[in-house]
């Protein structure tokens, strides 16, 4: 391996120049779990920091079968035609990184994958949802530095992945499908509360009447929920990605949201709050890592867990004792 300083400079210069090979290598470095690679990755991110944060970050979620890939592919093509550069990061906490997953993402978004102005990459699971959140945030910074001005983060999984993605984007779009017997499939109140906009997909052909009914149901549901911000009420649209209908209106709403939120100061405040939340998340990871490296702490933790389980000690007192045991380690310079 070349000298670390030279490598970081080469990676940084390559990413800033839009070199796709260097971008791919930099992402591989970010994704590595090796301690020495993590240190180099942070140096690279710090070097690229001034070039990050300029992209519009869009999160898109929906249950399997809702048409996420088709919608992203068509929306992405529309945006490329407008002169944008689009990166798509697919988050799947239920699977591990493999060559197959990369090929799968490119197969699902064929037209985007063929364009040099687009970049598609899955985020590795790293065994935990927290690992997904960390790597996705950092890969997002890399593609922003490489000049992609729109970053779409797609949640492939369901459950807490939506919460993680909503916490790292400027706009969170929920795709819903009008059901056969039910009014809607896969609707959850928690997801509606996260949404900046909801789009009813596959609103064409025989499904058009069901889509209209679903739109009315969702609008009624949103009317009784408290909006996430006083500046924006989540709109509900119908789209047909296959026919490329409704996507221009969808994008216009995303731009309107950015203008409204920027004018009120909420756009910058949201990004700032997300960055601080990420700091706290990383701090928790480092503290747990330090705990796991200390044999004495591990032994005592097992004993305290047994006491808590048996009802002989409160969880708060057990946690306080473990935190107290970690104090001397920090004072002696043994940082997490």
- Note the pTM of the prediction, 2 decimals: 0.84
Average pLDDT, the chain: 84
How does pLDDT run across 79-125, given as a tens digit for each residue?
999 999 999 998 765 554 443 344 455 567 889 989 999 999 876 55
At 29, the pLDDT band (50, 70, 90 cuts) reads very high
Give strand pairing partners of 86. Answer: 118, 150
Q: Taking the mean position of all CA atoms in its chain, how far away is CA 77?
A: 21
Q: How far apart are CA 54 and CA 49, in angstroms?
A: 11
What are the start-end ranges of the E strands in 129-244? 150-155, 171-178, 184-185, 197-201, 236-238
- pLDDT at residue 76, as a whole number: 97
Say which range, 115-124, 159-168, 190-199, 268-277, has the weakest mean pLDDT: 159-168
Segment 46-75 shows an average pLDDT of 93
- pLDDT at residue 260, as a whole number: 96
Give strand pairing partners of 3. Answer: none
With 0-12 / 13-18 / 19 or more C-beta atoms within 10 angstroms meaning exposed / middle / buried, residue 289 is: exposed
Q: How far apart are CA 200 and CA 218, in angstroms?
A: 9
How does pLDDT run across 169-206, given as a tens digit for each residue?
999 999 988 864 444 545 566 777 889 999 999 999 88
Q: For the chain, give the percent of residues with pLDDT over 70.
A: 83
pLDDT tops 50 at residue 292:
yes
The token pair at 90 is 């697919």
Q: For the chain, give the percent of residues with pLDDT over 90.
A: 52
Measured CA to CA in angstroms, residue 311 lies from 80, 105, 307, 315, 316 at distances of 61, 49, 6, 9, 12
Task: Delineate the domains of the chain, giving CATH numbers in brackets.
Answer: 1-51 (1.20.5.170), 53-263 (3.40.50.300), 274-331 (1.10.287)
Contacts of 95 (CB under 8 A, 6+ apart): 101, 125, 156
The token pair at 26 is 């930099």
The token pair at 283 is 């701090």
């Amino acid at each position: 391996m070349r000298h670390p300083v030279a490598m970081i400079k080469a990676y940084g210069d390559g990413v800033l120049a839009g070199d796709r090979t260097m971008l791919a290598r930099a992402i591989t470095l970010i994704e590595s779990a090796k301690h020495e690679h993590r240190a180099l990755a942070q140096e690279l991110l710090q070097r690229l920091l001034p070039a990050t944060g300029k992209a519009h970050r869009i999160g898109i979620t929906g249950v399997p079968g809702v048409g996420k890939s088709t919608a992203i592919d068509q929306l992405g093509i529309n945006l490329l035609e407008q002169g944008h550069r689009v990166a798509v990061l697919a988050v799947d906490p239920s699977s591990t990184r493999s060559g197959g997953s990369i090929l799968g993402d490119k197969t699902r978004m064929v037209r985007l994958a063929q364009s040099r102005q687009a970049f598609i990459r899955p985020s590795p699971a790293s065994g935990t949802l927290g690992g997904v959140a960390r790597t996705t945030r950092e890969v997002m910074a890399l593609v922003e530095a490489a000049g992609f001005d729109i970053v779409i983060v797609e949640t492939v999984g369901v459950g807490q992945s939506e919460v993680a993605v909503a916490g790292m984007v400027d706009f969170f779009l929920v795709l819903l499908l009008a059901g056969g017997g039910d009014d809607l499939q896969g609707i959850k109140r928690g997801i509606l509360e996260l949404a900046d906009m909801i789009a009813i997909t596959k609103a064409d052909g025989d499904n058009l009447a069901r889509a209209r009914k679903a739109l009315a149901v969702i609008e009624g549901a949103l009317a009784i929920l408290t909006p996430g911000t006083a500046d924006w009420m989540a709109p509900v649209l119908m789209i047909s990605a296959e026919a490329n209908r409704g996507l221009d209106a969808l994008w216009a709403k995303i731009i309107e949201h950015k203008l409204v939120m920027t004018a009120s100061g909420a756009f910058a405040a949201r990004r700032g709050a997300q960055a601080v939340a990420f700091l706290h998340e990383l701090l928790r990871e480092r503290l747990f890592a330090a705990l796991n490296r200390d044999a004495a702490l591990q032994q005592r933790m097992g004993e305290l867990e047994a006491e808590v389980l048996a009802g002989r000690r409160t969880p708060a007192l057990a946690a306080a004792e473990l935190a107290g045991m970690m104090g001397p380690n920090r004072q002696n310079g043994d940082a997490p």
